[in-house]
Amino acid sequence: MGRCRARANVGGEVRPAAYGRITSLAVDPIEKKPLACWNPGTTVLSLGGYGCNLRCPWCQNHRISQVGESEVGWRELTPEQLVSMASDLHKRDARMVGIAYTYNEPLVCWEYVRDAGALAHESGLSNVLVTAGCVSEGVVREVAPLIDAANVDLKSFSDETYRMLGGDLSCVKQCIEVLARTPTCHVEVTTLVVPGVNDANDEIADIAGWLAALDESIVLHVTRFFPSWRMVDRGPTPVSRVYELADVARRYLPRVRVGNC
């Protein structure tokens, strides 16, 4: 079993062991993803599985993202069943526009996102991806044409911080680049401001400057941290500091939002 707890070596072939194993299912406002500038006022059928390829000590969803199949309750939901459920919800309420792959890291079972996403488009539904983006370029290119809107969690602009989390900054940047260059995909980015980790003006300026050079239309969410899981040794990010850093980002990007304030 891989470190993500969702993929396994079976007879010498890496397979998505957690394919179709769903731990969380809910109809959410699109703003909760968060997506601020894509179909406001609509909802999506959000689902999550288990597993993640990062180890963020402040993880808000650690009860599903940092566990394996034996540590969490799950039920089987095929792509066909998922899309049928979403289609029924859409027929009852046209504001329910599609499916969001979220909660844990959906791309640890990217094949499920691909298969369900293709069926969703055939049924006239949209696909939303909420990801940390720490995946290979081939995976992103495989799913990007199926994604109508994405929010990528850019945790830091420091290679050292990403190494601490078990990830790779260059992979995340590449993911954002591929999605941003996909004409049919709307892209927003979230940076959780963790005191003592990524709350320096220069780091937020570097993030915003890089995003602006890539595409000025990208929305950046500057979000407040709250203690969770293995990081309870500090208090929440001061609200005033979140607003200060949002102002720093606005020097480069026209669309900056604050979150958790």
Q: What is the DSSP string of 48-106?
A: E-S--S---TT-TTHHHHT--GGGS--EE--HHHHHHHHHHHHHH-TTEEEEEE-SS-G
43 and 97 in contact (C-beta within 8 Å)?
A: yes
Distances (CA, A) of 147 to 111, 121, 156, 236: 13, 9, 24, 33
Whole-angstrom distance, CA of residue 157 vs CA of residue 154: 8
Burial class (CB in 10 A: 0-12, 13-18, 19+), 71: exposed
Domain 21-259 in this protein, CATH class: alpha beta
Residue reference for tokens 């859409």: 90
**Closest alpha carbon to 102 in 130, 143, 121:** 130
Domain boundaries, the chain: 21-259
Q: Please tell me the predicted confidence (pLDDT) of residue 11.
A: 94
Q: Please tell me the predicted confidence (pLDDT) of residue 193.
A: 98
**Closest alpha carbon to 101 in 123, 131, 65:** 131
Bridge-partner residues for 150, per DSSP?
129, 187
224 and 243 in contact (C-beta within 8 Å)?
A: no
pLDDT tens-digit series, residues 92-124: 999 999 999 999 999 999 999 999 999 999 999
Q: Please tell me the predicted confidence (pLDDT) of residue 220.
A: 98
Residue 40, preceding bond cis, omega within 30 degrees?
no
The residues near 84 (Cβ < 8 Å, ≥ 6 apart) are none
Q: Strands 149-153 and 21-22, how do they pair?
A: unpaired
Please tell me whether the overall predicted TM-score, pTM, comes out greater than 0.85 for this model: yes
Q: Please tell me the predicted confidence (pLDDT) of residue 17.
A: 97
Give percent of the chain with pLDDT exceeding 90.
100
- Residue ranges in the chain whose pLDDT is less than 70: none
Cα angle value 103/224/101 (rounded, 5°): 15
| H or E element in which residue 45 lies | strand 43-48
73 and 85 in contact (C-beta within 8 Å)?
A: no
Q: Please tell me the predicted confidence (pLDDT) of residue 101.
A: 98
Q: What are the backbone dihedrals phi and psi of residue 79, each rounded to the nearest 5 degrees, phi first? A: -55, -40
Q: Strands 43-48 and 96-101, how do they pair?
A: parallel
